[in-house]
Amino acid sequence: MDQVYIQNVLNGSTEDFRFLIRKYKDLAFSVAVSVVKNEFEAEEVVQEAFIKAFKNLASLKDKTFFKTWFYRILINEAFKSLEKKKREIVLPTNQNLPEVEDFEEPFRGLTVGEQKFIVAESLRKIPAKESLALQLFYLDGCSIEEIINFTGWSESNVKVILHRARKHLLVVVKTMMENELTIIES
């Protein structure tokens, strides 16, 4: 379906680009937030990505791969924005990371809404690549192959990043939960 709108845009009907914006804006925003960790910056990244996609639409060789092409532009823009700000979050390297099998333990007894809030806040505190990988794989339901296409990372790199990301996310979640309990008990 995208290819029909793309062809219309290439034929001069710029209004048809709105369809692509409506279709991809929400996922694009969540991906951008996972990298830049700030909603205002994410909005700018998404806007810049759509502008670049519009301007370079003629260079898209296979119109059926718009989503992959656009997400690559989006991810590149997000990392450029992050590089400009030099705000990569670094977790302590001397900390022993837990095994991923322990992941469900901190969430026991929480409502789904509380779990979603904690995960969203935790994603903001882990490194951008890891947050992006978790966002794409678990929240957006992308396959490893799609992540490879969107990011340009190798398969082994995607798997390593996902593995580290799960461990880092668990550390952040546990820390948040411990801090929350400390505040409640005080």
At 94 the pLDDT is 42
Q: Which domains does the chain have, with CATH numbers?
A: 2-85 (1.10.1740.10), 100-185 (1.10.10.10)
SS3 131: helix
Helix (H) or strand (E) holding 163: helix 155-185
At 151 the pLDDT is 93
| Cα R_g (the chain), whole angstroms | 19
The DSSP-derived string for 65-129 is: GHHHHHHHHHHHHHHHHHHHHT------SSSPPPPGGGGGGGGTT--HHHHHHHHHHHHTTS-HH
Q: What is the pLDDT along the chain (186 residues), one digit of tens a residue?
A: 888 999 999 999 889 999 999 999 999 999 999 999 989 999 999 999 999 999 999 999 888 889 999 999 999 999 999 888 764 444 444 455 545 555 566 667 778 787 778 778 888 889 999 999 998 998 888 999 999 999 999 999 999 999 999 888 888 888 877 776 554 444
Helices (H), 124-154: 128-134, 144-151
Residue 34: alpha-carbon gap to chain centroid: 4
SS3 154: coil
The predicted model scores a pTM of 0.74
CA distance 162 to 129: 9
At 183 the pLDDT is 46
CA distance 68 to 137: 14
Structure tokens at 167: 């461990």
CA distance 46 to 30: 10
